[in-house]
Structure 1
């Protein structure tokens, strides 16, 4: 059964009517069921298009967090052949919030690193809802070191509300681990492509997204803090999350205008969760296109361009 968001209630009502008509016995009804279903489907499609053509920043935040949205594992399963996961940071423990390993992406051997939120309650608890601890970011650093040593491109998939804020994580050096991960991203001499596939929250996201090419799905978000967190600081209440979402400029469209990201990947009508395979393929096509361009550069050029890219952010108009 499809999960509808709050702002999709009119669409949900139409979907319910369509489902009800389909269960009617066509032989015992005086109404032409097929015609009625067709009319309602056309109406629902029109309403869906109208709704998604004018989503607010808060509504996009809801879509980015949709529980049925494809996660890191879905992208790896469809895009990466012969994926071999690698575990542990060789220092403290394995962090299931970050998945990483070796595989082949459309003929290229690559290292893949991504944040996994989980698809049900059991897997969400296992993956800590995609919120990594220090050992997760240290594992990412280890994998990027390996990629650099063996000259393998790195693909990162970002989907996290932020780094885990627990006491244990802070005691083990959460901020230092994130900073080292950003430093590692800036230092490697291989192509680094990052895609925000859902929620890109704070330093927990940029630790994997300091890349040569930063891509975002159409209805994903990327911000320095969550709307709820921002509202709790500015207004002392999470009730102002909608206003905070607008002020944060966290949508892909906002960030493209600000030149923070390089490309927006269109999603199927109604969001990535409505046609997962189509959306994953579209992202794969974009990654392949960027990878081909980056492979033309040598290691020193890749690192220099990556550093310049981030140093120049915010300079426009100054």
Structure 2
């Protein structure tokens, strides 16, 4: 059953009526509701297009966080073959908020790493809602360094509200682990591609997304802080999250303009959760094109260009 967002309530009513008609027809084979159901479907399709034609930043936040949106595990299962998960940071523990391992993408050996939020109550708790602890970032560092040694391109899938801010995480060096992961991104002499598939929150996202190419799904977000957190700090009122979302310029379109995002990946109408197959096909195509663009560059050139890219960040924003 589809979960509807607040602004989709009119759509829910129309699609609900169409489904009721079909349920009645299944219960009574003599009923012919095809025309009425088709008319409601057409009305719903028009309304869906109107709703998603020009989403506000806050509505994009809602879509990026949709519980049915495909997560890291879904992309790995759909886009990669021979996936072999690698666990642990060889220091403290294995963090289930971060998953990664060796795989093949279009028959090319790669290292894939990503945040996993989980898809139901149990898995969300197990994966800590995609909020990694220090051992998660240290695991990512280990896998990126391994990829660097063996000449494997690294693909990261970012989907986190931010790094876990708990007492234990701070005691084990959360900020140092995030910084070390960001540093490793800048140092590995292999192609590094990052795709923001949902939320890209704070340093927890930057630690995976300091890449040669950063792509964002159309309705994903990427920001130094959540709109709610920003509103709480600036206005002492989390309910001003809509104003904060506007001010943060966290949409793919804004970040492409600022030069932080290199590519926007189109989503199916209504968001990636409405047609996961089509969304994953678009992501696969984008990754393939970005890999092809980087595969012939030597390691020292990749590292140099990557460092220059991040040293220059902000120049477009200042010019604007």
TM-score (norm: length of structure 1): 0.98
- Deviation of 1:191 (Å): 0.1
Matches within 5 A, 1:131-142: 131-142=131-142
2:161 pairs with 1:161: yes
User: Secondary structure in 2 aligned to 1:199?
Assistant: strand
Q: Which residue of 1 aligns with 2:64?
A: 64
Cα distance in structure 1, aligned partners of 2:213 and 2:29: 58
2:125 pairs with 1:104: no
- Deviation of 1:28 (Å): 5.5
Q: Which residue of 2 aligns with 1:197?
A: 197
Cα distance in structure 2, aligned partners of 1:71 and 1:154: 18
Greater mean alpha carbon deviation, residues 14-23 or residues 219-228? 14-23
Cα distance in structure 2, aligned partners of 1:24 and 1:114: 44
Q: Which residue of 2 aligns with 1:314?
A: 314
Cα distance in structure 2, aligned partners of 1:184 and 1:262: 20
2:302 pairs with 1:302: yes
Cα distance in structure 1, aligned partners of 2:29 and 2:231: 56
- Deviation of 1:107 (Å): 1.5
**Could you report, residue by residue, the CA deviation over 1:15-54 in whole angstroms, capped at 9, with x for unpaired residues?**
111011112246655xx51111111110000000000001
Cα distance in structure 1, aligned partners of 2:126 and 2:51: 35
In the superposition, relative to structure 1, how do residues 36 and 315 fare at CA in structure 2: closer, same or farther (>3 Å)? same
Cα distance in structure 2, aligned partners of 1:72 and 1:42: 33
**Where does structure 1 lack aligned partners over 5 or more consecutive residues?**
none
Cα distance in structure 2, aligned partners of 1:288 and 1:120: 31
Cα distance in structure 2, aligned partners of 1:169 and 1:5: 33
**Could you report, residue by residue, the CA deviation over 1:151-176 in whole angstroms, capped at 9, with x for unpaired residues?**
00000000000000000000100000
Cα distance in structure 2, aligned partners of 1:179 and 1:96: 20
Cα distance in structure 1, aligned partners of 2:63 and 2:7: 10
CA RMSD of aligned residues (A): 1.0
2:259 pairs with 1:259: yes
TM-score (norm: length of structure 2): 0.97
Give 4+ residue runs of structure 1 displaced > 3 Å after superposition.
25-29
Q: Which residue of 2 aligns with 1:207?
A: 207
Q: Which residue of 2 aligns with 1:89?
A: 89
Q: Which residue of 2 aligns with 1:7?
A: 7
Q: Which residue of 1 aligns with 2:34?
A: 34
**Could you report, residue by residue, the CA deviation over 1:199-243 in whole angstroms, capped at 9, with x for unpaired residues?**
000000000000000000000000000001001101111110111
Q: Which residue of 2 aligns with 1:287?
A: 287
Matches within 5 A, 1:108-147: 108-147=108-147
User: Secondary structure in 2 aligned to 1:267?
Assistant: coil
User: Secondary structure in 2 aligned to 1:216?
Assistant: strand
Q: Which residue of 2 aligns with 1:73?
A: 73
2:250 pairs with 1:224: no
Q: Which residue of 1 aligns with 2:171?
A: 171
Cα distance in structure 1, aligned partners of 2:236 and 2:176: 28
User: Secondary structure in 1 aligned to 2:214?
Assistant: strand
Greater mean alpha carbon deviation, residues 274-283 or residues 201-210? 274-283
User: Secondary structure in 2 aligned to 1:241?
Assistant: helix
Report how many aligned residue pairs link the two structures.
316
